[in-house]
Chains A and B, each alone.
Chain A
Amino acid sequence: MIDMFRFEDIIKAFYIAKKDIKEYYLKPPTISWGIVFPVAFTLAFILRGGHHTQEIIPGLIALALFFGTTSMAAASIVFERKIGSFERLLLFPVSYTGIALGKTLSSFMFGMVSLFATLVVVLPFILNVPAYSFFLVAVLILSALMFSAFGVFISFLIRDPTNTMMIFNSIRLPMIFLCGVFIPVSSLPLPLRLIAFLLPLTYSVEATKFAINGNYDVIPPIESILSMLIITILLILLTSIKIRRIIP
């Protein structure tokens, strides 16, 4: 079965995203894991941060975005596969890449909502800082796209929907400690540092740090941006291959 991506698939991807927004944005797991949890931990760390607050804010923003986007992907894809409505998408005249892009876009848009909620909490602490605000916007948009593509890809790997959040959290939570959110990547032992370079959150944290504080730990901002772009495209393509393989 040949899968050819056409221009009209981009429009159809937006229709899929619009449908997902109507269908899943108010679902309890999406709200709790995608908005309440990131806002709560951001607030908790800021309140306890003291003079380190400024240093951890970039990591917290990236992390909140990561939780927001991936929660939406998990809710929409795993639920649809469980009740059989995902097969409807396979019946429409749209390529598998178009479906992967549509699911990524719906998570991306939810990530923006989640980001807004987090920014409301951290805004007082970064008001007089962002020297690179355009860069910050670009980094956050690209991060949201990359995390969405990551969440969508992982969602298609999950077979049993009852394990969704357990699997997602067992991937997400270790990243908090490996990707430079609280502990700089440069201070990690070499094996863990190598793992950090394989994780998408690392590039987002590094770029966000540069955008907000004007410095980075180990990855220069341009490299972070390029890496995020490549990872995003790669994940969308891998997802389309995975969708094709779902067909028995």
Chain B
Amino acid sequence: MSEDVTLSILRFRPEVDREPHFQTYTVPYREDWVVLDALNHIKDHLDATLSYRWSCHMAICGSCGMMINGEPKLACHAFLRDYRHDGIRIEPLDHFPIERDLVIVMDSFMEKLSSVKPFVIAKEEKPLSDGEHLQSPLQLMAFKQYTLCINCLLCYAACPQCGLKEDFVGPAALALAHRYNLDSRDDGNDQRADVVASNEGVWECTFVGACSEVCPKHVDPAAAIQQAKISASLDWFKAWLLPGAHR
């Protein structure tokens, strides 16, 4: 017996549409299909003009983030069988401009990401001949979960602060800043502080916690940001109270 499932997809084609509108498609239902499979079926067999991003189909590349029934999800990580009885409504990620159909403009995120200097800033450069920068398992454990981010931007779509304050650096970038600040090989805390400890940094976060709830890799950016708030506060007190400390 063949069954069908209907998807309602928000379309926006800038060359013909003044504003986005929903379009429905009916695709075959398969027990083992995720939403991304349904989109690929539409693209291949029903409507080649539908645009969306995807790559790996295994929750690693972070490309196929979209709103599925109002919840930020990876399309490759959301099975049709979990949604079909309520109907399936698909929209581009919230809080980002729509480039086309389900494709968002992520330029602002790329700028925020680079602003936190997401790389190891070594205490001192040393020649290759001196060997590796060694790190113990315990030192790795301090930040490992924050390395698992795939930049899928589900956290930005879940965070109301990202929608209300466009300058907010946001969960993923701040979690990554915290990841490098916690790294025993890194000495870049002061260089990141201008962004991380600013009004647009951790202090714009009101601890809604939605970022951590929707994260497909269990990075828990909300925890990283709260810890960064405590670190930033301690740094501020040290700078004002300790003699000789720089401000």
A and B assemble together: no
